[in-house]
Amino acid sequence: MSNREVMAGAFFGIIAIIVALGALRYPLGSFTNMGPGLFPLLLGCALGLVAVAMIVQGLGDSARIDVTWAECRGLVCTIAAVVFFALALKHLGLNVTVLVASLIASVGSQTFRLRRALVVAVVIGAGCHILFLELLSLRLAAWPPFIGG
């Protein structure tokens, strides 16, 4: 039994359900005249099949699953970073949000080092600022309102 395969399969299963349910909010159409929801629905179903295969393969002969915090930390921190980004972007601006979300995601690494995480977060933040605000001219605040964004 492989804990990693079971956990990855469960994660893919959750994502597959979210994608498939989200696709149902749009018209499906038919295979000859596809609506905007059909392709995401098919992708969600395909990902669900992959998830089931991974879980079955991971369980193998034994049905006992031992999951430790160290194995879940990366997944939890990644999801927390995405949720933080979605909730904070409007209020904190792109630069602060990317910096903090990068740090939250970095905590999930088993080899986490604060100095390295800060350097990576600053580089990612600068890259996002250049790409989204300067090159693509997206209408996002760079800084929070209390700093001058």
- The per-residue pLDDT for range 126-141, each reduced to its tens digit, is 999 999 999 999 999 9
CB proximity list for 111: less than 8 A, separation 6 or greater: none
- What's the rounded Cα separation, in Å, for the pair 48 and 15? 8
Tens of pLDDT, residue by residue over 110-126, are 899 999 999 999 999 99
> C-alpha distances in angstroms, 106 versus 52, 67, 69?
29, 20, 15
**What DSSP designation does 33 have?**
S
Question: Per-residue pLDDT for 1 more than 60?
Answer: no
Q: What is the pLDDT of residue 62?
A: 61
Closest of 45, 42, 55, 63 to residue 11, by C-alpha: 55
CB proximity list for 141: less than 8 A, separation 6 or greater: 90, 93, 94, 149
Judge contact between 82 and 22, C-beta under 8 A. Answer: no
The residue extents of the domains of the chain are: 1-66, 68-149
- What's the rounded Cα separation, in Å, for the pair 99 and 89? 11
pTM as predicted: 0.63
Judge contact between 84 and 28, C-beta under 8 A. Answer: no
